[in-house]
């Protein structure tokens, strides 16, 4: 199984070949294109990076049975990789309304023909909605916060050395599970991506670009936090908790600033919600209402906005 493009990381290329061979066995007669997103697509991957894989079937899913087989394959494929694998199988038809910027602008084709050239990128407003609402979801769920959400937020675990931002477990090559900062990085970087889409009208598709674009668009304190998280938590410590005392103090300081950034994001998210609830755009309004009904954000101004746009009950 040859690759259209190599990641130049032998173990990652080996995983790609293994997954592709398994896919061809499950779907022998289905033309497809395969892309990788994220750090292995742009050459910035590190030893603890995960592999983001998108498999696109030509045209559309034939039937529900084929969709179920794709779901089963995605679950099976994660067992083929000695690294964290995030895989998704989609059909070409689903891309006609717009391709995610992560896929359109930040991917690497590794198998098949390029299906993205003639597909439009997802509109900026749709991207902003996805990033803002999903970042709100992460704020709640990554660190186990209870509902309804109240502002200002408090630390996930005020008594812990890193305030609970290191609660996610990471399995080392020797099988040992340790705490890591992967969810801290996900939370802050994707929240910043949402802010950039909403406030600056910018797509950001690469982790390495997030702090640079943010600093170019905003002259506030958060650009430096984004840079510190990327350069220290990711590049220097590889998502792991450092051992040296001075480095642990540096990580603790980053975690202290993270809470303030979360509250900064929530204020902007509230502004975004109020705009969505008041605009004459049924899709955006309904999206916001659905999110708030599932994951309530307790705020008097938001509650009034919800009442004013909700249809009267019988």
Question: Residue 66's domain is classified under what CATH number?
Answer: 3.30.460.10
* 313 has a pLDDT exceeding 60: no
DSSP 20-80: HHHHHHHSTT--EEEEEESHHHHT---TT--EEEEEEESS---SHHHHHHHHHHHHHHGGG
Computed on alpha carbons and rounded to an integer, the radius of gyration of the chain in Å comes to: 21
* 87 has a pLDDT exceeding 50: yes
Q: What residues are paired with 34 via a beta bridge? A: 55, 111
**Entry field: residues in the chain:** 314
Q: How far is CA 291 from CA 124, 130, 133, 244, in A?
A: 19, 11, 7, 42
pLDDT score of 170: 87
CB-based contact 233:184 (threshold 8 Å): yes
Both 102 and 129 in one domain: the answer is no
3 part of a folded domain: no
CA separation for the pair 46, 234 (Å, rounded)? 8
CB-based contact 251:233 (threshold 8 Å): yes
**What is the number of other CB atoms lying within 10 angstroms of the CB of residue 231?**
13
Both 161 and 211 in one domain: the answer is yes
203 part of a folded domain: yes
Both 150 and 52 in one domain: the answer is no
pLDDT averaged over every residue in the chain: 93
Both 41 and 19 in one domain: the answer is yes
What is the rounded average pLDDT of the residues 47-67? 91
Provide the number of structural domains found in the chain.
2
CA separation for the pair 293, 295 (Å, rounded)? 6
Both 101 and 237 in one domain: the answer is no
pLDDT score of 47: 79
Host domain of residue 136: 124-309
Token pair in block for residue 163: 């305030």
Q: Which of 82, 111, 140 is the last residue of a domain?
A: 111
CA separation for the pair 231, 297 (Å, rounded)? 33
**What is the number of other CB atoms lying within 10 angstroms of the CB of residue 157?**
15
pLDDT score of 279: 81
* Cβ-Cβ contacts under 8 Å for 207 (sequence gap 6 or more): 38, 39, 44, 185, 189, 230, 234
Is residue 180 helix, strand or coil?
strand
Both 103 and 130 in one domain: the answer is no
What is the rounded average pLDDT of the residues 88-105? 94
Peptide bond into 41 cis (omega under 30): no
Residue 310: band (very low, low, confident or very high) from pLDDT cuts 50, 70, 90: low
Q: Which of 87, 111, 135 is the last residue of a domain?
A: 111
pLDDT score of 45: 86
Both 92 and 176 in one domain: the answer is no
144 part of a folded domain: yes
207 part of a folded domain: yes
Both 98 and 177 in one domain: the answer is no
Both 154 and 52 in one domain: the answer is no
Q: Which of 54, 87, 111 is the last residue of a domain?
A: 111
255 part of a folded domain: yes
pLDDT score of 1: 75
Between 80 and 304, whose confidence is greater?
304
Between 164 and 173, whose confidence is greater?
164
Read off φ and ψ for residue 180, nearest 5 degrees.
-150, 175
CA separation for the pair 155, 222 (Å, rounded)? 18
Both 178 and 47 in one domain: the answer is no
What would the pLDDT profile of 214-270 be if each residue is shown by its tens digit?
Answer: 999 999 999 999 999 999 999 999 999 999 999 999 999 999 999 999 999 999 999
165 part of a folded domain: yes
pLDDT score of 311: 57
* 272 has a pLDDT exceeding 50: yes
Both 167 and 29 in one domain: the answer is no
4 part of a folded domain: no
Residue 26 burial by CB count (10 A; 0-12/13-18/19+): exposed, middle or buried? middle
234 part of a folded domain: yes
Both 63 and 200 in one domain: the answer is no
Is residue 205 helix, strand or coil?
coil
What is the rounded average pLDDT of the residues 104-118? 93
What would the pLDDT profile of 29-52 be if each residue is shown by its tens digit?
Answer: 888 999 999 899 988 888 788 899
């Amino acid at each position: 199984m040859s690759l259209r493009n190599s990641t130049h990381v032998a173990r990652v290329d080996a995983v790609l070949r293994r997954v592709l061979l398994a896919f061809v066995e499950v779907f022998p007669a289905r033309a497809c294109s395969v892309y990788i997103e994220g750090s292995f697509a742009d050459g910035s991957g590190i030893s603890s990076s995960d592999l983001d894989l998108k498999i696109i079937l030509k045209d559309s899913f034939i039937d529900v049975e084929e969709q179920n087989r794709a779901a089963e394959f995605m679950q099976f494929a994660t067992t083929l990789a000695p690294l964290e694998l995030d895989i998704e199988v989609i059909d070409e038809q689903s891309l006609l309304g717009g391709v995610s910027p992560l896929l359109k602008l930040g991917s690497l084709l590794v198998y098949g023909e390029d299906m993205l050239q003639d597909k439009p990128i997802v509109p900026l407003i749709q991207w902003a909605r996805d990033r803002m609402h999903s970042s709100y979801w992460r704020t709640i769920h990554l660190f186990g916060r209870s509902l309804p959400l109240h502002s200002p937020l408090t630390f996930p675990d005020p008594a812990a050395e890193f305030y609970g931002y290191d609660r996610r477990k990471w399995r080392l090559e020797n099988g040992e599970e340790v705490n890591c900062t992967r969810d801290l990085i996900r939370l802050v970087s994707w929240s910043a991506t949402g802010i950039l889409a909403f406030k600056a009208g910018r797509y950001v598709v690469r982790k390495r670009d997030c702090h640079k674009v943010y600093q170019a668009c905003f002259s506030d304190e958060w650009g430096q936090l984004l840079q510190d998280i990327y350069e220290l938590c990711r590049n220097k410590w590889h998502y792991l908790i450092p051992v040296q005392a001075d480095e642990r103090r540096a990580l603790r300081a980053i975690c202290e600033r993270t809470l303030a950034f979360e509250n900064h994001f929530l204020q902007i998210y509230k502004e975004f919600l109020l705009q969505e609830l008041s605009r004459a755009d049924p899709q955006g309004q309904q999206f916001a209402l659905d999110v708030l009904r599932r994951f309530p954000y307790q705020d008097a101004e938001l509650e009034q906005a919800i009442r004013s746009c909700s249809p009267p009950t019988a």
